[in-house]
A and B are shown apart, each in its own frame.
Chain A
Amino acid sequence: MKRLQWLIPFVYIVFLLLPIYWLLNMSFKTTNEILGSFTLWPSNFTLENYRKIFTDATWYTGYLNSLTYVLINTVLSVTVALPAAYAFSRYRFLGDKHLFFWLLTNRMAPAAVFALPFFQLYSAIGLFDTHIAVALAHTLFNIPLAVWILEGFMSGVPRELDETAFVDGYSFGRFFTHIFIPTIVAGIGVAAFFCFMFSWVELLLAKTLTAVNAKPIAATMTRTASTSGYELGLLSAAGVLTIVPGAFVIYFVRNYIAKGFALGRV
């Protein structure tokens, strides 16, 4: 029994990798082969689908647009969340618990509820179809998330650190930037990772708030899926490329993933 225990995670990982393999497989096939027969691996191996994505502006600008608003959002969310998380972890103030709960409700707000009002709001202030609009809209769920994760990490830092620094004559600002932030740099990394991730995977709001100039890769994909017939190979290649950034950043936070998902509370 004990000796066969590794089978369970092994089978699970195979189950996880199968759909990803199938996507890879499809992305290296020609359209003819995909529609013609069922094959377990590409018999006419082709890079044509990838070539098209890297040379066609409608495709690769989609990636650049997505990366742009995701990065703006990540920087914005973490910067704004840092002082707030500090306040929640160190001080008691009027309405703190209510405020914390209210922030949480925004993490739980279904994007579907906000799609239409967001469209009208961002059109009204002239930000429709800009990267800023999507970045701002995504702060709705990413700021609360960042506050929660950072608060969890900060509460793990003993209060004596702050007190000693203040006794030593540090001002609040200097203490925060020179001592406190370096102490919780792992937490900041995890919070940034999660903001990156949730902004990267979200589609409904990103699609609702953009038309041409800031169109995310996901929207390019859904449009291709519905208009240009059945270019499954191209669609698969685009899908594979959306997995790459996530797979790349996950390596850096591998030891903190679980803590982040538990909102810093493990």
Chain B
Amino acid sequence: MSGKTTNQKAWWLVLPVLLFVAFNAIIPLMTVVNYSVQETFGNNRFFFEGVKWFEEILNSSRFHEALQRQLMFTATILAIEIPLGVLIALSMPRKGPWVSVCLVLMAMPLLIPWNVVGAMWNILALPDIGLLGHTLNAMGFDYNYTRQPNSAWFTLVAMDVWHWTSLVVLLAYAGLSAIPDAYYQAAKIDGASQWAIFRYIQLPKMKRVLMIAVLLRFMDSFMIYTEAVVLTGGGPGNATTLLSIDLVKIALGQFDLGPGAAMSLIYFLIILLLSWVFYTVMTKDEEQ
């Protein structure tokens, strides 16, 4: 952040962004705050309820269960995607024509509309006619994601790994390509082992991008909605009802404005806290 000049007129350059984002962020957020403290019986008549909805949500087992499922989902996909992504990035070619081919193919899943990702896995996992479902059942597994919670979870995690591991790969690969060849030559002269090269040269260079990868995956997996809804609809039962699915069920499905709004705010505060951690880590790194 050094070398910048102080210039209050810079506000004029930022103003258009401010107007657009404020229109989209502040007005809707105020609507949510407004609903979160009121009760409605229809006909646009509202009654002030104070923090009743917040207490209700925070004490409801439904919210706790959704939050637990959410945390479990996020922990699982992080535990798989981060190491897998690093492993793939490490074994990718450094130069040559194959680099572009790999990068373009790997980025494919990231560009597919989220509902199509869900639909694609839905079709792939159909127990009788889908490639995955048919193969698993032929191998003797009892697999049916519309009936068994375990199958549904497996499919959901597999879909997310398929969808987002490439993000980790791309980030880790970008970190790796920033390492000068001289480092590897020095390590070779010293007779360093593969592990030592990874531990003392590659990992420190990747630290920053990996931090970004972990936090992006953490937050995006907290917001997952469309893919999961199209794939399992939160079922069977409530087995894969994650936070955002539950929220949409309450707010748009049952039209319970008050509880929906209160839950939105709690949800948003969790994300805000995470964003703050993210920002602090990143800017601290930049200042060093």
Task: Please report A residues at the B interface, Cβ cutoff 8 Å.
Answer: 5-9, 12-13, 15-20, 22-23, 26, 34-35, 37-38, 40, 76, 80-81, 83-84, 86-88, 90-94, 96-97, 99-101, 103-106, 108-118, 120-121, 136-137, 139-140, 143-144, 147, 159, 197, 200-204, 208, 217-218, 221-222, 225, 232, 235-236, 239, 242-243, 246-247, 249-251, 254-255, 257-259, 261-263, 265-266
Task: Please report B residues at the A interface, Cβ cutoff 8 Å.
Answer: 1, 3-11, 13-14, 16-18, 20-21, 23-25, 27-29, 31-32, 87-88, 91-93, 100, 102-116, 119-121, 123-124, 128-131, 134, 162, 165-167, 169-171, 173-175, 178, 208-209, 212, 216, 219, 222-223, 225-226, 230, 244, 247-248, 251-252, 257, 260, 264, 267-268, 271-272, 274-276, 278-279, 282-283, 286
Q: Are A99 and B18 in contact (CB under 8 A)?
A: yes
B92: chain A residues at CB < 8 Å are: 9
Q: Are B108 and A106 in contact (CB under 8 A)?
A: no
**Can you sample 22 A-B contacts with CB below 8 Å?**
A9-B88, A9-B91, A23-B120, A84-B16, A86-B13, A90-B4, A91-B4, A104-B275, A109-B271, A110-B244, A110-B247, A110-B271, A113-B247, A113-B264, A120-B31, A201-B111, A201-B112, A201-B114, A225-B119, A225-B230, A246-B112, A266-B174
B29 to chain A, nearest CB (A): 7
B159 to chain A, nearest CB (A): 9
Say which residue of B9, B130, B208 sits within 8 Å of A22 (CB atoms). B130
B88: chain A residues at CB < 8 Å are: 8-9, 12
B112: chain A residues at CB < 8 Å are: 201, 239, 242-243, 246
Given A9-B92, A112-B248, does the pair A266, B13 have CB atoms closer than 8 Å? Answer: no
Nearest chain A residue, comparing its CB with the CB of B274: A108
B128: chain A residues at CB < 8 Å are: 38
B186 to chain A, nearest CB (A): 19
Q: Are B219 and A108 in contact (CB under 8 A)?
A: yes
* Given A83-B13, A143-B17, 7 extra CB contacts under 8 A: A18-B124, A40-B131, A84-B14, A93-B8, A108-B219, A121-B28, A136-B20
Q: Are A204 and B276 in contact (CB under 8 A)?
A: no
A10 to chain B, nearest CB (A): 9
Q: Are A266 and B93 in contact (CB under 8 A)?
A: no
Q: Are A257 and B103 in contact (CB under 8 A)?
A: yes
Q: Are B111 and A247 in contact (CB under 8 A)?
A: yes
Q: Are B24 and A140 in contact (CB under 8 A)?
A: yes
Say which residue of A81, A92, A136, A258 sits within 8 Å of B5 (CB atoms). A92
Nearest chain B residue, comparing its CB with the CB of A260: B170
Say which residue of A40, A93, A159, A225 sits within 8 Å of B6 (CB atoms). A93
Which 9 pairs from chain A and chain B are nearest by CB?
A246-B111, A117-B28, A258-B174, A87-B13, A91-B10, A87-B10, A83-B13, A117-B31, A112-B244
Q: Are A111 and B114 in contact (CB under 8 A)?
A: no
A140–B28 Cα distance when bound, in Å, is 11
Nearest chain B residue, comparing its CB with the CB of A88: B14
Main secondary structure of the interface of B (DSSP, over half): helix
A117–B268 Cα distance when bound, in Å, is 14
Q: Are B105 and A17 in contact (CB under 8 A)?
A: yes
A137–B4 Cα distance when bound, in Å, is 33
Q: Are A203 and B113 in contact (CB under 8 A)?
A: yes
A162 to chain B, nearest CB (A): 10
B247: chain A residues at CB < 8 Å are: 110, 112-113
A31 to chain B, nearest CB (A): 11
A266–B100 Cα distance when bound, in Å, is 18
A89–B36 Cα distance when bound, in Å, is 38
A37: chain B residues at CB < 8 Å are: 129
Given A117-B31, A147-B17, does the pair A262, B209 have CB atoms closer than 8 Å? Answer: yes
B223 to chain A, nearest CB (A): 4
B104: chain A residues at CB < 8 Å are: 250-251, 254
A62 to chain B, nearest CB (A): 11
Q: Are B14 and A87 in contact (CB under 8 A)?
A: yes
Say which residue of B175, B209, B267 sits within 8 Å of A113 (CB atoms). B267
B6: chain A residues at CB < 8 Å are: 91-93
Given A22-B131, A94-B8, A140-B25, does the pair A258, B252 have CB atoms closer than 8 Å? Answer: no
B257: chain A residues at CB < 8 Å are: 116
Q: Are A15 and B8 in contact (CB under 8 A)?
A: no
Nearest chain B residue, comparing its CB with the CB of A110: B223
B257 to chain A, nearest CB (A): 8
Q: Are B16 and A242 in contact (CB under 8 A)?
A: no
A204: chain B residues at CB < 8 Å are: 225-226, 248
